[in-house]
């Protein structure tokens, strides 16, 4: 195997591939990436057996062939080369890879391509075309609500579904950890079949989010009962799905929250941030007291420290005192964009809904805490 490639071309792809590799894997081959050259193309693959990436870039092939090399090592080496450099990579026996660039030369140990797992990039499933920015935005507004609690594994990802309403295809992403829920829906520009719902794992979501931040083109998605594939230009991103049942989130979203608070988002966020300075793990609660056109925030902790602050708002409902986890309310406020937001209440023991007036398809639900 022998080929020439520009640093800026291969380095970008290596940053995608090495990101999913488990550096502490007990199987050495899973710390490697597969390099295969043919037809003036370099095909690179990496996997952790749950997620796989296959990316193709142009190169000048002198001799076709394939080998595998430690992902972190080749990434670190190429990262330190000059940005405009051209790189020559040679492997004659599959055991040693030689990398040359200018006056630099590296001889690196390899593992044979035959040891690398076979990556299946074809499935029989439902296909969907959409804009990369649609999936990016759906992830952006919901990923913070994913649960980290491994015992509730079915919450360790985002629920993705597609439904058709009045001739329009609606893409839905939902995340919840049992304390808060984030739901965002976007109308797709291309009609597609209904997808009942699949759970995409958190690691997949995080890696996909990074990949889509670089892309503004249309992408294709294919979904089966246990896998999802994203076709992003010349990159194929394959992931297992979580085998579990996502909760019926529609039952969690309140339907009778009639006490409406309209408030400046940045003012509320800043006030919550200040007052919550004294909260800790044992006392994470911040209390909201809703009065006529006023919100009083207060908190105290177990060493008798306390804080309070008043914020002007638009509110004509009944007086309510309700507590929330300070971090959770800040996460929600961070993910809303409008200057003025709407928060609806029912009573002091029922979940609230926070949303933007101009974007009813973005909904955040938060469970209260005992004050």
What confidence tens digit (pLDDT) does each residue in 212-270 have? 998 889 999 999 989 999 999 999 999 999 999 999 999 999 999 999 999 999 999 99
Q: pLDDT digit string (tens) for 48-79? A: 999 999 999 999 999 999 999 999 999 999 99
3-state helix, strand, coil in the chain (%, to 5): 25, 45, 30
**Considering only CA atoms, which of 203, 204, 205, 237 is closest in space to residue 220?**
237
Task: Look at the block and give the residue holding tokens 């005992």.
Answer: 370
Residue 303 has pLDDT above 90, yes or no: no
Q: At a CB cut-off of 8 Å and minimum separation 6, what does 41 contact?
A: 56, 57, 58, 59, 61
Please check whether the domain covering 126-247 is classified as CATH 3.40.50.720: no
In whole angstroms, give the CA distance from residue 219 to residue 222.
10
Are the folds of 2-115 and 126-247 the same?
Answer: yes
Other C-beta atoms within 10 Å of 280: how many? 12
pLDDT of residue 140: 98
CB 253 within 8 A of CB 360: no
Q: Regarding the domain delimited by 259-366, which CATH topology (the fold level of the hierarchy) does it fall under?
A: DNA Polymerase III; Chain A, domain 2 (3.10.150)
pLDDT tens-place string over residues 114-156: 999 998 878 888 999 999 999 999 999 999 999 999 999 999 9
Q: Which of 20-34, 104-118, 145-159, 331-345 has the lowest mean pLDDT?
A: 20-34
Residue 302: the pLDDT is 81
CATH number of 2-115: 3.10.150.10
This prediction has a pTM of: 0.94
For residue 53, which of 14, 80, 99 has the smallest C-alpha distance? 14
Orientation of helix 7-20 relative to helix 202-212, angle to 10°? 160
Torsion of CA 99, 105, 109, 115, to 10 degrees: 0
Residues 26-35 have a mean pLDDT of 93
Task: Please report, for the chain, the start and end positions of each structural domain, with discontinuous segments joined by +.
Answer: 2-115, 126-247, 259-366
């Amino acid at each position: 195997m022998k080929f020439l490639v520009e640093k800026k071309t291969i380095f970008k792809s290596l940053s995608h591939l090495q990101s999913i590799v488990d550096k502490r894997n007990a199987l050495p081959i899973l710390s490697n990436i597969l390099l295969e050259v043919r037809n003036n193309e370099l095909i690179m693959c990496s996997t952790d057996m749950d997620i796989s990436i296959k990316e193709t870039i142009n190169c000048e092939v002198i001799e076709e062939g394939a080998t595998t090399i430690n992902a972190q090592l080749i990434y670190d080496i190429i990262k330190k080369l000059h940005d405009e450099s051209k790189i020559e990579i040679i492997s004659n026996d599959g055991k040693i890879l030689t990398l040359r660039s200018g006056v630099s030369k590296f001889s690196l140990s390899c593992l044979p391509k035959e040891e690398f797992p076979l990556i299946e990039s074809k499935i029989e499933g439902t296909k969907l075309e959409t804009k990369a920015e649609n999936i990016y935005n759906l992830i952006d507004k919901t990923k913070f609500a994913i649960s980290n609690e491994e015992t509730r594994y079915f919450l360790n990802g985002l629920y993705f579904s597609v439904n058709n309403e009045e001739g329009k295809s609606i893409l839905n992403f939902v995340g919840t950890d049992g304390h808060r829920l984030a739901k965002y829906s976007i109308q797709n520009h291309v009609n597609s079949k209904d997808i009942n719902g699949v759970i995409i794992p958190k690691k997949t979501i995080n890696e996909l989010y990074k990949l889509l931040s670089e892309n503004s083109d249309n992408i294709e998605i294919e979904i089966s009962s246990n896998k999802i594939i994203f076709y992003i230009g010349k990159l194929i991103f394959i992931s297992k799905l979580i085998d579990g049942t996502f909760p019926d989130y529609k039952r969690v979203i309140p339907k009778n929250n009639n006490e409406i608070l309209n408030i400046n988002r940045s003012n509320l966020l800043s006030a919550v941030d200040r007052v919550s300075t004294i909260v800790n793990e044992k006392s994470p609660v911040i209390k909201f007291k809703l009065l006529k056109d006023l919100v009083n925030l207060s908190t105290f902790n177990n060493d008798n420290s306390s804080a309070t602050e008043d914020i002007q708002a638009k509110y004509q409902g009944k007086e309510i005192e309700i507590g929330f986890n300070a971090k959770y309310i800040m996460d929600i406020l961070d993910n809303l964009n409008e200057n003025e937001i709407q928060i609806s209440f029912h009573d002091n023991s029922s979940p609230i809904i926070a949303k933007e007036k101009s974007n009813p398809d973005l909904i955040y639900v938060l469970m209260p805490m005992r004050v």
